[in-house]
Amino acid sequence: MSGEKHLSDEELVKALRSGDEDAFGHLVEAHHASLVRFARLYVSSVEVAEEAVQETWVAVVRGIDRFEGRSALKTWLYGILINCARKRGREESRTLPFSTFDDADASDEERAVGPDRFQKPGDRWSVPPSRWDELPESRLLARETGQVVEAALKSLSPSQREVVVLRDLAGLTSAEVCATLGITEVNQRVLLHRGRARLRAALERYFDEH
């Protein structure tokens, strides 16, 4: 978008408070898709996710005067969304994902790569990873590949999925994710590590078989 400069949180909040519709429009465009993706983790359909995100935007408009800037705007945004999405999810009587460090994630059992991929001496690769760089770009970027990642995301634990979506899809920083989900850096990194490992493994299976 030519002519659009990157506003700091402070500038953006100021613009929003002064009724700057362009600023608001840009904010919505910048985040809407990722917010819907994240809300989808809590509710039964994209339509309900869209509704939760709409509620979030309305809450942002109403709350912007009270936003104190103690957290990043993005963190605040996702915090509101989580509440809206969870509420919707409860109304739908779904089992909610918990953004706590649950027992499954606390176990030390889950390694990024299975031990059968390594051999003695020296615990080096027995079946080495292949070179995805050599795959044609058309394959890497194909819709089917995206579908593999989507399906794999569903196989993650809810906590892993939340962290991966917030970090790698929505682009929140590590600190923003921790603030939004109320978890420690260490916990966040463990979840991210395992989540990404599972996604990579799914992609590896897919690329090896096709």
Partner 1 sequence: MSTSVGNVEPLSCKELVELVTDYLDGALPAADRLRFEEHLADCDDCPRYLRQIELTVLLTGSLTEQSIPVDAKDRLLDVFRRWHEDEHPRSPGS
Which residues lie near partner 1 (CB under 8 A)? 19, 21, 24-25, 28-29, 32-33, 36-37, 46, 50, 54, 57-58, 61-62, 65, 111-113, 115, 118, 122-125, 128-133, 140-141, 145-146, 149-150, 153, 164-165, 168-169, 171, 174, 185-186, 189-190, 192-193, 196-197, 199-200, 203-204
Angle at 105 between CA 151 and CA 127, to 5 degrees: 60
> Helix crossing, 21-39 with 73-91: angle to 10°?
50
* Shortest distance in whole angstroms from residue 89 CB to partner 1: 18
CA–CA distance, 196 with 156 (Å, rounded to integer): 9
**Least distance (Å) between residue 170 CB and partner 1:** 9
Query: Which residue's CB is nearer to partner 1, number 58 or number 104?
Result: 58
CB nearer to partner 1: pick between 95 and 209: 209
Cβ proximity to partner 1, 93 vs 136, nearer residue:
136
Q: Which is nearer to partner 1, 19 or 95 (CB)?
A: 19
Query: C-beta of 5: minimal distance to partner 1 in Å?
Result: 21
SS3 118: strand
CB 148 within 8 A of CB 20: no
Phi, psi (deg, nearest 5) at residue 118:
-120, 160
Measured distance CA(32)–CA(172) in Å, rounded: 14
